Chain A
Amino acid sequence: MISRREWLAMAAVGAAPNPPAIPQRRLAVWTASEKLGGLTATVDGKAAKVLRTKSPNDDLLVLLVLDVTGDLTLVDAARQAAVAEVEKLPGSNWVGVLRAQDGLRVMLDPTADRAATSNAVLQAPVSGRAGLLECVEPAARLANSIMRKTQVRAAILYLTDSDISNYREDYTNPVINMSDSRDLSRRMADDLVRDKTSKLAAMLAETDVPAFIVQISFLRDRLNEAYQTGLKQMAEATGGMALLCRNLGDVATSVSQAFEKIRTMWAVDVQIPAGTAKNFTVQLGSGPGDLQYRSRFIQAGRGKE
């Protein structure tokens, strides 16, 4: 046990241990009501304390991650739609822009400057290797860290046209020996994709920032089916959603739908009682009812952020 004086001295040189934090999780909540009155929470059936709520009128940080490498027609439609939606956001909503191709990179720090945001989005390069699967974890941990340290609502929106065969890491289980024409082992080659997306979904369940994925290039082969199903699974694990655009006309609508969902999101911090299991469920109750929220969580292991 260290004294307050000792702790302050250590903090002054950056060596102080972190203060004992009260375990809590943040839930993204949607409701048709304008207020969230009389909100109650249970964790694994036991009553839990609602620490605070943030409404759609509160500050919002949106991390817009672009993962675009393919058809300029679709990409440009997505970029234009994103710019139009950013313009509609209230001033308290800041947007940061990142790119996922060839590794996660910051293109624009979070800002309320809509012109700068539009410029960053419209100037985003359309090339390289798909990067969503590699970036989803660092992006989630980044947003989670920010969210834990501030009171803002936060969300990540991915605009992606990724094709599972365009990743640096190979998820396609390609035929290596040309002679192996009767290779049954590749008849169901989707297991690598499922393995990867399941792992990521499990990891994302440890974080609290909802991820929204707009996949603008709908693909119908078995591997991409598994991939797109995995995108849904990953987004759902965070309390967000994945929207698969089946044609060009779908792109603007889906982007708009994702922004609308983000903009109208409530954030509810719930205290997690001591002794709660690694996997747990959270149930919310409120007067008006009709709440939409993620209910299943996994506690993060040590040193995950």
Chain B
Amino acid sequence: MEVLRMRSPGYVATLLFTAVLSGQQTPAPSGGSEIQKAAEEFRVLTRERGLRADSPARAAKGPGRRAQFHGRLYENFRNDFLDAVPHEIVQRGEGKNLLRRNQFGFNVSGPVVIPKLFDGSRTTFFSVNYEGVRERISRSYLRTVAIAPERGGDFSQTVDSSGEPLGIYDPATVRANPDYDPSKVVSRENLQYLKDPFVGSRIPASRLDPVALNSIAYYPTPNANAGPYFKNNYFVVSPETNTANGMIAKVDHSFLDKNRLTVSYAFTNGLSGTARYINGPADSAPADRNYLNRRGSVEHVYTMSPQTVHTATFEAHMDVSENVADDSGWPEKLGLTGVPGGTFPYLNFTDYLDMGRSSPIARNARNTFVFTDAFSHKQGKHSLRFVSQFAKYQINTYIPGVPAGAFYFGSTLTSLPGIVNTGQSFASFLLGGTESSDMSLVPSPSYFRNWNWVNAVQDTWEIRSNFTLSFGLNILTTTPRTEKYDRQSIVDLRLPNPANGKPGALVFANTPGYGHAFQPLRMKPQPNASFSWNPGGNRKSVLRASYGMSYQAYPVYTGQWGTRGFNGHPYYNSPNTQLAPAFFLRDGVPPPPRPMPDLTPIAANDTNGNVVDINGRLPRYQSVGLSYERELPGAFIVTGSSGVAWGRDLFVSGSTARLNAVSPDLLTLRDQLNNLDFNRSLRPYPQFLEIDTYSQWPEGRYRREAASVRLEKRTSQGLSINSTYEYSRQYDDYSGPYGRQDQFNRKNEWALTVYNNPHRLSLSYMYELPFGSNKRFFNYPDWRRYAVNGWSLSGISSVASGEPLALRAQFNNTGGVLSYVRVNVVPGEEQRSPKQGPEEWFNVAAFSHPANFTMGSGPRTHPFLRNPINQNHDLSVAKRFQIDQERSMEFTASGFNFVNHANWSDPDVVIGTADAPNANAGKIIGSRGSRVIQLSLRFSF
């Protein structure tokens, strides 16, 4: 209650007693009409409470003022004893899954007041958030490793994917077949080369490579039998760790009434430890990572006039990460010579779990500086906005991808030449014969730079009260990557190579004919337009339409791609993988063909040439959309939307845009293609093995058509419901892990996008339960209100149809012409399974394996066969205990996947040959998922 202010003692006293007698509360202090009294009261009260410019300084902090500091303390707790054991672990016969997570922190905000020095109680405010995470969460993986006999060279139990014995052939016995008839295709009856099988499918101990044997000591043995036929025999449950501390601090300062300055700073420090595939130095999971993030920004807002606002912002980000690996001379311990690095070498077995890892050592720092200047002005019915944003990027990167070498072991070395489904990659490894190998020679980091500048103007024009048009144009100026010391290079496909006269020679930055970058600066217009219309002036309905076009700026990635010559990356390839290896491990890695640095046009020869599009094409995206929104009785809002988006010149990976591919028309050359020299002679740029574009070749197209219905409800009872159903179709000519089958016929690659989920349904809801004080039910005045007050529910559910199946052939016997082979479609066969389930998700008989040296005729992704539906349901129940007006304690129990639903894994989409069908094709071997509970406690003040 306000303390009375005195006009004259007699007047007030009389008024007070009059008021008491008449049953009124405290009367107004002055005469005049009631509204005048109210206005006077307003003046007095606002002055007392510090709400006016002429308020005394003490008013803002006098007795009775509420606490000006607010914040919270919290702890989020997860532990596996609260959770359901994941289905994938139960299915492997185990009953435990480690999960320990503590997430704790605080937030506090309020005015900045330094006693006797600075009083910012009305002008300067701060906010500080701290959070720490201590987490160990198990991840599980099902993989295949060599069975016990195989580790000793005994492959007598080794079978193919149909369960038939797999022949292992001795590469030391290979010889030309004098009876070979070149007019016929290679077959078991007409072999081009002869190779003797190992007796009893056992490799003699004397033939086992010592480096391989030393490595096997660090390779795990089988511990599961998910199958089929010894496959999926290694189940690993390993903890992933995350130890992090982070803070966000902000200060907001208003001055001269029209200015506001905000300064913020944030940091994170931590260690991200990945789950292990192999417990030991041979682990092939990504390396542990130390990271450090810093963010800082300064924003100044100047209100020039009520119609004009100017905002200037400067932001700086720094993200540093460092891979942590055991670098203690592992090649030497294994007996491997010729590699510079000390980490465990990367050993790749096509069919089995790898050993070692790529990028075991790396240190990257990405610095971003962004300056934004925005000017908004309202003039009549036009609202104009001008924005200029300049962004500068610095990438300091040191990533010797495979410092101790990468060694690839395929089945072909131990196969019967020309006959698929013979040979075994682990047998090739035991012999020490690598099909191909490469290593990184990186003496120093690279310091990449680029910048983008966007200038935009946007006008929102209220043509009529029920019709608003918005249109704008922004100009993207983007620059390609440069290197601080000009230590970058590319292969210029226009220049002849001195070695063979063919196009494609290595060129270097800032040398005659080349600038600091290899691509031009590009300026691209990005227009947009939209309107919003209430048909007939009816505010319950809104029709909106929009169009927009945009370009992607030049990317600048981490990684030392495009520095060949300054850094070396020698490749060693078998002249014919069916006949001989590139080299044997016991002999060590041969010395690099050229010393470093090698700043000559031929420095990239016999390696993967690094190429950029020197024309500087940039991905272009366009979209049109139309929506109609209608308010319905009962506070429901329904919105129907449809839209089409499309793009061209999208950046695709090197496996999709194979610029050095041999034309599939030459598949008729059949087994000759296995000869590396002959194969390379057929390529456009034979001096290179492959062309590596680092996922920056502008050659992809996509189109997405979508329609959706959204239903919303927000009520004053604290209920909010939001539900959306979307149907979409998205096509492209590049997506997926395998790239394109035919680089020369992109139309034939046009198919559903691999991640397209045509049906998506989502539901989110929040509900303050109508119990307790001031609520409809259980409005108890007594102690029971503590039990019924403050309950709320919150949830998110989603259901999505599966992605299209990308069926592929098990064997790729195309001499490397195709990067992968699709399947053939069997005419007349129903492709859907009549009894779809985990045992038969689709009809495998409707698809067949293409013959050797032919392409598959089926689509890249199937038009209607899809992976299983995926669904998830999360629910959170919260109870708030109000301590007083300002303070409360909230307890929350959240159930992620609270119904403990298991989503089926994806089916096996690999189709075997008629002779060796993949017994697992079309089958689903398990399901994944489990309920995770989190308990949270938060004290707010």
Co-assembled chains A and B: yes
Q: Which of A72, A150, A199 is within 8 Å of B28, CB to CB?
A: A150
Q: Which of B45, B319, B766, B940 is within 8 Å of A142, CB to CB?
A: B45
Q: How far is the CA of A77 from the CA of B4 in the complex (A)?
A: 41
Set of chain A residues within 8 Å of B28, measured between Cβ atoms: 149-150
Q: How far is the CA of A112 from the CA of B3 in the complex (A)?
A: 28
Q: How far is the CA of A63 from the CA of B46 in the complex (A)?
A: 12
Q: How far is the CA of A177 from the CA of B246 in the complex (A)?
A: 5
How big is the A interface, by class?
A: 35 or more
Set of chain A residues within 8 Å of B42, measured between Cβ atoms: 61, 63, 96, 109-110, 142, 146
Let me know if B764 and A109 touch, CB within 8 A: no
Q: Which of A149, A170, A248 is within 8 Å of B127, CB to CB?
A: A170
Let me know if A61 and B781 touch, CB within 8 A: no
Per-residue 0/1 for A231-260: is the Cβ within 8 Å of any B Cβ (1 yes, 0 no)?
Answer: 011011100011010111110111000000
Let me know if B4 and A11 touch, CB within 8 A: yes
Set of chain B residues within 8 Å of A48, measured between Cβ atoms: none
Per-residue 0/1 for B4-35: is the Cβ within 8 Å of any A Cβ (1 yes, 0 no)?
Answer: 11100110110011011001111111000111
Per-residue 0/1 for B292-327: is the Cβ within 8 Å of any A Cβ (1 yes, 0 no)?
Answer: 010000000111001101000000000100000000
Cβ of B141 under 8 Å from chain A: no
Let me know if A236 and B716 touch, CB within 8 A: yes
Set of chain B residues within 8 Å of A202, measured between Cβ atoms: 773-774, 882
Also in contact, A249 and B129, with CB within 8 A (given A12-B13, A225-B722): no
One of B331-339, B375-383, B496-504, B817-825 at the interface: B375-383
Let me know if A233 and B717 touch, CB within 8 A: yes
Also in contact, A170 and B9, with CB within 8 A (given A92-B35, A125-B303, A191-B892): no
Set of chain B residues within 8 Å of A230, measured between Cβ atoms: 718
Also in contact, A185 and B26, with CB within 8 A (given A106-B46, A149-B41): no
Per-residue 0/1 for B707-733: is the Cβ within 8 Å of any A Cβ (1 yes, 0 no)?
Answer: 000001011111110100000000000
Let me know if A235 and B716 touch, CB within 8 A: yes
Cβ of A290 under 8 Å from chain B: no
Let me know if A222 and B764 touch, CB within 8 A: yes
Chain A nearest Cβ from B743, distance in angstroms: 35
Chain B nearest Cβ from A115, distance in angstroms: 16
Cβ of B626 under 8 Å from chain A: no
Chain B nearest Cβ from A10, distance in angstroms: 9
Let me know if A150 and B38 touch, CB within 8 A: yes
Q: Which of B254, B383, B794 is within 8 Å of A72, CB to CB?
A: B383
Set of chain B residues within 8 Å of A76, measured between Cβ atoms: 307, 378, 383
Let me know if A127 and B882 touch, CB within 8 A: no
Let me know if A125 and B722 touch, CB within 8 A: no
Q: Which of A103, A236, A249 is within 8 Å of B122, CB to CB?
A: A103
Chain A nearest Cβ from B900, distance in angstroms: 15
Let me know if B319 and A111 touch, CB within 8 A: no
Set of chain A residues within 8 Å of B353, measured between Cβ atoms: none
Let me know if B714 and A244 touch, CB within 8 A: yes
Q: How far is the CA of A105 from the CA of B129 in the complex (A)?
A: 28
Set of chain B residues within 8 Å of A187, measured between Cβ atoms: 796, 874, 894, 896
Let me know if B774 and A296 touch, CB within 8 A: yes
Also in contact, A72 and B378, with CB within 8 A (given A103-B122, A174-B248, A225-B766): yes
One of B144-152, B461-469, B562-570 at the interface: B461-469
Interface residues of A in 139-172 (CB under 8 A from B): 142, 145-152, 154, 168-170
Q: Which residue of B lies closest to A77 (CB)?
A: B462
Chain A nearest Cβ from B183, distance in angstroms: 59
Let me know if A179 and B307 touch, CB within 8 A: no
One of B102-110, B424-432, B649-657 at the interface: B102-110
Cβ of B39 under 8 Å from chain A: yes
Let me know if A168 and B1 touch, CB within 8 A: no
Also in contact, A102 and B266, with CB within 8 A (given A24-B25, A124-B306): no
Set of chain A residues within 8 Å of B45, measured between Cβ atoms: 142, 145-146
Set of chain A residues within 8 Å of B105, measured between Cβ atoms: 176
Q: Which residue of A lies closest to B132 (CB)?
A: A177
Q: How far is the CA of A248 from the CA of B720 in the complex (A)?
A: 23
Q: Which of A51, A72, A145, A203 is within 8 Å of B307, CB to CB?
A: A72
Chain B nearest Cβ from A124, distance in angstroms: 6
Q: How far is the CA of A150 from the CA of B246 in the complex (A)?
A: 52
Q: Which residue of B lies closest to A222 (CB)?
A: B764
Let me know if A185 and B20 touch, CB within 8 A: no
Cβ of B885 under 8 Å from chain A: yes
Cβ of A287 under 8 Å from chain B: no
Chain B nearest Cβ from A262, distance in angstroms: 14
Per-residue 0/1 for A119-140: is the Cβ within 8 Å of any B Cβ (1 yes, 0 no)?
Answer: 0001111111100000001100
Cβ of A268 under 8 Å from chain B: no
Let me know if B252 and A149 touch, CB within 8 A: no
Cβ of B878 under 8 Å from chain A: yes
Also in contact, A109 and B301, with CB within 8 A (given A24-B25, A150-B34, A180-B242): no
Also in contact, A185 and B934, with CB within 8 A (given A127-B309, A145-B45, A242-B716): yes
Set of chain B residues within 8 Å of A253, measured between Cβ atoms: 539
Q: How far is the CA of A235 from the CA of B716 in the complex (A)?
A: 8
Per-residue 0/1 for B65-89: is the Cβ within 8 Å of any A Cβ (1 yes, 0 no)?
Answer: 0100010100010000000000000
Cβ of B674 under 8 Å from chain A: no
Q: How far is the CA of A182 from the CA of B133 in the complex (A)?
A: 12
Set of chain A residues within 8 Å of B53, measured between Cβ atoms: 105-106
Let me know if B768 and A18 touch, CB within 8 A: no
Let me know if A194 and B766 touch, CB within 8 A: yes
Cβ of A281 under 8 Å from chain B: yes
Cβ of B258 under 8 Å from chain A: yes
Per-residue 0/1 for A212-242: is the Cβ within 8 Å of any B Cβ (1 yes, 0 no)?
Answer: 0000000010100110111011011100011
Also in contact, A73 and B383, with CB within 8 A (given A102-B254, A138-B49): yes
Q: Which residue of A lies closest to B260 (CB)?
A: A128
Per-residue 0/1 for B126-164: is the Cβ within 8 Å of any A Cβ (1 yes, 0 no)?
Answer: 010111010001000000000000000000000000000
Chain A nearest Cβ from B699, distance in angstroms: 30
Let me know if A14 and B720 touch, CB within 8 A: no
Q: How far is the CA of A227 from the CA of B722 in the complex (A)?
A: 14
Cβ of B866 under 8 Å from chain A: no
Let me know if B20 and A19 touch, CB within 8 A: yes
Let me know if A127 and B303 touch, CB within 8 A: yes
Set of chain B residues within 8 Å of A168, measured between Cβ atoms: 109, 125, 127, 252
Chain B nearest Cβ from A257, distance in angstroms: 9
Set of chain A residues within 8 Å of B66, measured between Cβ atoms: 137
Set of chain B residues within 8 Å of A192, measured between Cβ atoms: 72
Q: How far is the CA of A222 from the CA of B766 in the complex (A)?
A: 10
Cβ of A1 under 8 Å from chain B: no
Let me know if B462 and A61 touch, CB within 8 A: no
Interface residues of B in 682-739 (CB under 8 A from A): 712, 714-720, 722
Interface residues of B in 888-910 (CB under 8 A from A): 888, 890, 892, 894, 896
Q: How far is the CA of A192 from the CA of B708 in the complex (A)?
A: 30
Cβ of A98 under 8 Å from chain B: yes
Chain B nearest Cβ from A202, distance in angstroms: 6
Interface residues of B in 754-796 (CB under 8 A from A): 764, 766, 768, 773-775, 779-781, 785, 790, 792, 794-796
Chain B nearest Cβ from A225, distance in angstroms: 5
Also in contact, A184 and B794, with CB within 8 A (given A92-B35, A142-B42): no
Let me know if A21 and B718 touch, CB within 8 A: no
Q: How far is the CA of A102 from the CA of B715 in the complex (A)?
A: 28
Q: Which of A16, A145, A184, A301 is within 8 Å of B896, CB to CB?
A: A184
Let me know if A179 and B270 touch, CB within 8 A: yes
Cβ of A85 under 8 Å from chain B: no
Chain A nearest Cβ from B79, distance in angstroms: 14
Q: Which residue of B lies closest to A126 (CB)?
A: B309
Q: Which residue of A lies closest to B35 (CB)?
A: A59
Also in contact, A225 and B714, with CB within 8 A (given A51-B23, A150-B38, A185-B894): yes
User: Can you list 6 A-B contacts (CB < 8 A)?
Assistant: A11-B16, A16-B13, A102-B252, A142-B49, A170-B107, A281-B779
18 new A-B contacts, CB < 8 A, other than A24-B25, A142-B51, A146-B38, are A8-B9, A11-B16, A14-B6, A72-B309, A72-B376, A72-B385, A94-B35, A106-B52, A106-B53, A109-B42, A127-B303, A149-B2, A152-B34, A177-B245, A195-B880, A249-B532, A279-B781, A298-B773
